[in-house]
Amino acid sequence: MEVQQIADFRAEAEELHTLLAGIAAAGWDRPTQFKQWTVNDIIQHLHDGDLMALASATDPAAFAARAADVTARRATGLSRIQEARQRYGDLLGPRLLERWHATLSELCAALAAKDPAARLVWYGPDMGLRMFATARQMETWAHGQAIYDMLGTERPHASPRLRNIAEIGVRTFGWAYRNRGRDIPAEQPFIHLRTPSGEIWEWNDPAAPNRVEGDALGFCQVVTQTRNVADTALRVTGPIAQDWMAIVQCFAGPPETPPAPGTRFRAGS
């Protein structure tokens, strides 16, 4: 039986693939609200991440070599997206879509073939298989948000697999502080989220004075930096919770600043 997190990652990608299959050729060059990246830029980035993940799952030495090559290219002054454009050149539009989709399917199969207790190399500490698959789902979901927003399309979000993204958001509380060289607060905020179906998700001590409460979708958007917390209906109580929501970052890499209020939204809303 396939690990649930792998199945959720696959389903997340299929949903995005369906959306992208309906985009006209000119739409692939449209800039999104995410750093003005185009749809081509976003899918090249996801494809690159999935290729790195496939290398981790099948040949850790190849992963190390590829990571070193990326570091060397970035050391020349290339930005993250400039490096990807250089690497993938004219792999664009529908051809890029199908290459990304095929690689992702291969990645899911490679992950499914591994022992559920396996650990995989990645940037920073190794990751357990379930968290590894969740991290790929999270990145697919987060970057997909920029495309949904650009198109003005209401995103399906009632799926139970959204809980994986909320989970990684909660579990990376300490990471947001370590990544900035700051001390981790002794208390983690209580998280109380509701889903569109009425389900309640909770983490940490319900008696904690620091709290984040509200819509599960809004929480997932904030922890993935696709929305500023001020643009959601989340209720944030206490100095630790407020500080965390100002720097929250559930993804790897150097510290990133959440979008400014009012800069990430669904077009036409």
DSSP secondary structure, 144-190, as one string? HHHHHHHHTPPPP---TTHHHHHHHHHHTHHHHHHTTT-PPPSSPPE
Residue 134's contacts (CB-CB under 8 Å, 6 or more residues apart) are 5, 8, 9, 164, 165, 167, 168
CATH fold of 162-247, please? Nonspecific Lipid-transfer Protein; Chain A (3.30.1050)
Among 1.20.120.450, 3.40.50.2000, 3.40.50.1820, 3.40.50.720, what is the CATH number of 4-151?
Answer: 1.20.120.450
pLDDT at 123 over 90: no
Please determine, for residue 248, whether its predicted confidence score (pLDDT) is greater than 80: yes
pLDDT greater than 80 at residue 165: yes
Q: Three-state DSSP class for 37?
A: coil
* Residues 73-120 pLDDT 10s: 989 999 888 999 999 989 999 999 999 999 999 999 999 999 999 999
**pLDDT tops 90 at residue 173:** yes
The token pair at 193 is 């989220």
pLDDT at 164 over 80: yes
Q: Which helix (H) or strand (E) holds 58?
A: helix 39-58
What pLDDT, on the 0 to 100 scale, is given for residue 112? Answer: 97
Q: How far is CA 185 from CA 51, 70, 172, in A?
A: 36, 34, 13
| CA-to-CA separations, 177 to 173, 192, 225, in angstroms, rounded | 7, 21, 15
How many residues are given for the chain? 269
Would you tell me the crossing angle of helices 39-58 and 80-88 to the nearest 10 degrees?
Answer: 80
174 contacts 184 by C-beta, under 8 angstroms:
yes
Do residues 80 and 45 lie in contact, with contact meaning Cβ atoms separated by under 8 Å? yes
pLDDT band at 11 (very low <50, low <70, confident <90, very high): very high
pLDDT of residue 158: 62
High-pLDDT (> 90) share of the chain, %: 87
Domain segments of the chain as ranges: 4-151, 162-247
Q: Residue 203 pLDDT > 80, yes or no?
A: yes
Judged against a pLDDT cut of 80, whether residue 138 lies above it is answered with yes
Residue 214 has pLDDT above 90, yes or no: yes
